[in-house]
Amino acid sequence: HLAVIESAEPSVKAFLKVSADQALEQADAFDAKSDEDKSQMPELAGVPIAIKDMIVTKGIETTAASKILEGWVPPYDATVIEKLKAAGMPLLGKTNLDEFAQGSSTEHSAYQTTHNPWDTERVPGGSGGGSAAAVAAFEAPLALGTDTGGSIRQPGSLTGTVGVKPTYGGVSRFGAIAMASSLDQIGPCSRTVLDSALLQEVIGGHDKRDSTSIPEGPRPMVAAAREGMKRDLKGLKVGLIKELGGEGFQPGVMARFNEGVKKLEEMGAEVIEVSLPHLPYSLGAYYIIMPSEVSSNLARYDGMRYGLRVMPPAGVPQTAANMMAYTREAGFGDEVKRRIILGTYALSAGYYDAWYGSAQKVRTLIIDDFKKAFEKVDVLVGPTSPVTAFKFGEKTEDPMAMYAIDITTIPANLAGVPAMSIPAGLSDDGLPVGFQFLAPQQRDEVMYKPAAALE
Ligand code: GLN
């Protein structure tokens, strides 16, 4: 994989940092183990993995693709990293993303633009475009991402790979750099559904260092994926989300999606249309709740504690407040600043009820929509992204156009339910299309079965 990285990186640019020396050391340590010891380890032991640079890694620079964290070398590992190391999985390096995971194209990285391996003139999606591109380009067999509003699933869709957002609280977020804490979740990127199931079982489970962690072990996802590979879905009730389609959805995306639905039926599943009436409001609710939490979480980057510090120029009073202002002005990019301003406004006295309060009420209605839908069906399905990979610069001038394509992935984050994207063939433009499965909270295994069957 290090050799593939060397040959692919000049055109893909998926990695911010390749930790070759550490990876080889970890691989050697695994090789040196006795057969007896190896047989006690998870199936993925010895398999290397790439890590989105939103997850902290001891001794390896972690920047969240922001200048404000440039040069920060974490003194500790995230829980998921500890688990990967214990499983004998070498870390290949840190992958590119939109700054602080804010974006849908990886163009908002402060360092570099990642190219889609299917067409290097196009984006790999975002924010986790680096992890998805690394897997799609065979630079890494597996990667970790973070998904606050689709950042694992949408890049999976645009690069023809598998991306999973586990149930909220199913994977520890200790050591994941916080974006919007009520929505953030770490999850797997891979080329097959079974690989994601194996990885989710390695990284999942309770962690007392994350107060939102569910006090329960990982679900039987590997068994469900293996069961799905038998391609028999008799008895499974699938709900087609009525609201995900129509205007803004490319015909080629809908065609591949509908073919997928037909295949599920051919394998014995019963498919019915289900309405989640408040889904169209999820974009509005997300783009209030998320920036509100972003504005609060990013307050910690003040020039005092981590990374960048910019002192005021001569003539400007050398106060702590001015140092913070100059540091944040220089350290954050435009998209991050936009969200801090939006969030600060939405949370300010006098506006709180009108904006944040209303958005939270809408969120509750969306959660109820999902509960009612899951009384009728086992899994819900829809396209992962309304569009295939777009060209660089196509949506950067118009933030609303970039936000609008998140409509398909955001509902799962608002409701805290697990969701995954799998490749569903190529659209008329020759680019990958993603098929999304959503399951009830804490029932992640329920989506792995039909996903493995359809793959
Ligand atoms: N596109 C979403 C956003 O810009 C995705 C965020 C994420 O999942 N990290 O907010």
Q: Determine if the peptide bond prior to 213 is cis (ω within 30°).
A: no
Contact (Cβ atoms closer than 8 angstroms) between residue 407 and residue 283: yes
Question: What ipTM was reported for this prediction?
Answer: 0.98
> Predicted confidence band at 271 (pLDDT cuts at 50, 70, 90)?
very high
Residues carrying an active site annotation:
52, 127, 151
What is the atom index within ligand 1 of the atom nearest the CA of 128? 9
What was the pLDDT predicted at 217? 78
pLDDT tens column, 305-360? 888 999 999 999 999 999 999 999 999 999 999 999 999 999 998 888 899 999 99
What was the pLDDT predicted at 122? 98
Token pair recorded at residue 189: 């990127």
| Cross-sheet strand order for the sheet of 162-165 | 15-18, 91-95, 49-52, 142-146, 186-190, 162-165, 419-426, 432-438, 379-383, 237-241, 270-274
3-state SS, residue 275: coil
108 CA → ligand 1 middle, Å: 11
pLDDT tens column, 74-102? 999 999 999 999 999 999 999 999 999 99
Phi, psi of 215 (to 5 degrees): -75, 65
3-state SS, residue 449: helix
101 CA → ligand 1 middle, Å: 6
Nearest CA to ligand 1 atom 10: 102
Best residue among 106, 127, 288 to mutate for probing ligand 1's pocket (most ligand atoms within 8 Å of CB) is 127
> Predicted confidence band at 70 (pLDDT cuts at 50, 70, 90)?
very high
Query: How far separated are the first and last CA of the chain, in Å rounded?
Result: 24
149 CA → ligand 1 middle, Å: 4
Tell me which architecture the domain covering 2-239+258-274+379-454 has in CATH: Alpha-Beta Complex (3.90)
Q: Where are the domains of the chain?
A: 2-239+258-274+379-454
Cα pseudo-dihedral 197, 380, 365, 354, rounded to 10:
70
Count the alpha carbons within 13 Å of 203 in the hemisphere toward its beta carbon. Answer: 37
What was the pLDDT predicted at 212? 96
pLDDT tens column, 210-226? 999 999 877 899 999 99
Confidence check: pLDDT of 181 > 90: yes
Considering the chain, what percentage of its residues have pLDDT values greater than 70? 100
What was the pLDDT predicted at 216? 85
Mean pLDDT (whole number) for 197-202:
98
170 CA → ligand 1 middle, Å: 19
What was the pLDDT predicted at 372? 98
Mean pLDDT (whole number) for 113-140:
98
What is the atom index within ligand 1 of the atom nearest the CA of 152? 8
Region of residue 205 (phi > 0: left; psi between -120 and 50: alpha; otherwise: beta): left
What is the atom index within ligand 1 of the atom nearest the CA of 413? 8
